[in-house]
Amino acid sequence: MLNYITTGESHGRYMAVILEGMPSGLGVDMDYINGELRRRQGGFGRGGRQKIEADYVEIMGGVIRKKTTGAPIGLLLKNKDHTVDVLPSIERPRPGHADLAGSLKYHQDIRAVLERSSARETAMRVAVGAVCKLFLKEFGIDIAGHVTRIGPVAIPKEALSVNEIRRLTKGSLVNCVCRKTEQAMIRLIEKAQKQKDTLGGKYEIRAEGLPIGLGSYVHYERKIDAQLAQILMSQQSAKAVEIGAGDQLASLWGSEAHDEVFYSKTRGYYHKTNRAGGIEGGMTNGEAVVVKVTMKPIATLARPLSSVNMKTRKAEKADFERSDFCAVPAGSVIGESLVAYVLARSFLEKFGGDSMREIRRNYDGYLRQVRA
């Protein structure tokens, strides 16, 4: 089963990831992968770090002559700022962070906690996601994310296609599909900077081109909505995950909440609505998969909150580390990657196969079967 482990600290010499389970024969476009890393670094409201260095990764293994070989894929990022061994210790945990619990659990300085719990680790998860996107693209599966809310400022509700999302967010400083909303978001972030405060928000991810039947209802670990919820909630700052209409479904009548089934020769089975977000019974139902994630405001404040000095047990203000003011635009790029990983994993589980050629054949056979 597709599987990965990341390593590396925020200010360590390296960050790296090993991804196990990719088939052979997939073309690996390093420019694409590094482009995705750059997308993660963008977004109005980022702090100083992103300007220091443009992230890029090298291959450690699993790729020969630009094609995957079926072996574990290793990707390596070299940090320019690698001062982790000489950075000062931290004594005042930042509310909202891993600092307090991490320090007590692992019986170590907050520095060691901060360095690993930092969202910098998501650079590696974006690299994994980029490989998964390259894989999914081969089967016509496409993913895009966009920011739907920053603080109280939200976009008007409308369902957009992946292409529309990509077109409308192009050039947006906050990965937003609506220029007017974008302006309001930027003003809000500027206000946050001035007030030394931070902001959270929401983003939406949409994946199109999925076959019917990824995931399963037979065992809870196989449910694709559960897998998506897990991966998305594992993102730093995530506090809510919704599938399709999500939270709003609580208030509707059953007769309004489900997506009726239709059939046509050209399209096969289809739906005219997509309240389910493309998932029923823990499986893709052929419609676009739509998920929404809520991110809390960044927990590192330039105007720190009340905390306790863990050496003296005296009340003091929390420590401050260089940080962003709003990470939701970056979060939406990371979210795409997380969704890509789960979809690629489910796809590989369903279709088996060790080479792109074999998977393609298995996939085509299944499509013929479900359309017959």
Binder among 231, 333, 339, 340 for a second copy (CB under 8 A): 231
Q: Is the dihedral of CA 149, 155, 156, 161 positive or negative?
A: negative
Q: Is residue 369 involved in binding a second copy (CB under 8 A)?
A: yes
Contact residues for 286 (Cβ-Cβ < 8 A; gap 6+): 210, 211, 212, 268, 269, 270, 271, 278
Using CB under 8 A as the binding rule, the residues of this chain from 69 to 108 that contact a second copy are: 69-74, 76, 84-85, 93, 95-102, 104-108
Binder among 31, 48, 51, 260 for a second copy (CB under 8 A): 260
Q: With contact defined as beta carbons under 8 Å apart, do 147 and 329 qualify?
A: yes
Give the whole-angstrom CA distance, residue 236 versus residue 123. 12
Q: Is residue 113 involved in binding a second copy (CB under 8 A)?
A: yes
- CB of 84 or CB of 166, closer to a second copy: 84
Query: x/- site string to a second copy, residues 4 to 23, per CB under 8 A?
Result: xxxxxx--xxxxxxx-x--x
Q: Is residue 252 involved in binding a second copy (CB under 8 A)?
A: yes
Q: Which residues of 210-242 are buried (b: 16+ CB within 10 A; e: fewer)?
A: bbbebbbeeeeebbbbbbbbebbeebbbbeebb
- CB of 50 or CB of 362, closer to a second copy: 362
The least distance separating a second copy from the CB of residue 354, rounded to whole angstroms, comes to: 5
- CB of 166 or CB of 362, closer to a second copy: 362
- CB of 21 or CB of 42, closer to a second copy: 21
Binder among 159, 161, 234, 322 for a second copy (CB under 8 A): 234
Q: Is the dihedral of CA 150, 151, 155, 158 positive or negative?
A: positive
DSSP 215: B
- CB of 167 or CB of 269, closer to a second copy: 269
Binder among 38, 42, 209, 366 for a second copy (CB under 8 A): 366
Binder among 43, 129, 145, 277 for a second copy (CB under 8 A): 277
Binder among 129, 145, 200, 335 for a second copy (CB under 8 A): 200
From edge to edge, which strands make up the β-sheet containing 3-8?
A: 3-8, 14-20, 73-78, 57-61
Using CB under 8 A as the binding rule, the residues of this chain from 52 to 71 that contact a second copy are: 58-62, 64-65, 67, 69-71
Query: x/- site string to a second copy, residues 282 to 321, per CB under 8 A?
Result: xxxxx-------xxxxxx-x-x-xxxx----x-x--x---
Task: Provide the token pair at 162.
Answer: 């992946």
CA distances 45 to 55, 168, 269, Å, are 18, 20, 44
Give the whole-angstrom CA distance, residue 263 versus residue 252. 26
Q: Is residue 352 involved in binding a second copy (CB under 8 A)?
A: yes
Q: Which of 280, 243, 284 is nearest to 260 (CA)?
A: 280
Give the containing element (helix H, strand E) for 225. Answer: helix 224-233
Contact residues for 264 (Cβ-Cβ < 8 A; gap 6+): 270
Q: Is residue 198 involved in binding a second copy (CB under 8 A)?
A: yes
Q: Is residue 353 involved in binding a second copy (CB under 8 A)?
A: yes
Q: Are strands 142-150 and 153-154 parallel, antiparallel or unpaired?
A: antiparallel
| Window of 26-34, 158-166, 170-178, 193-201 that interacts with a second copy by CB under 8 A | 193-201
Task: Collapse the DSSP code of 32 into the 3-class scheme (helix H, G, I; strand E, B; otherwise coil) and give the result.
Answer: helix
Using CB under 8 A as the binding rule, the residues of this chain from 144 to 173 that contact a second copy are: 149, 151-152
Binder among 129, 201, 329, 335 for a second copy (CB under 8 A): 201
The least distance separating a second copy from the CB of residue 42, rounded to whole angstroms, comes to: 21
- CB of 166 or CB of 320, closer to a second copy: 320
The least distance separating a second copy from the CB of residue 102, rounded to whole angstroms, comes to: 6
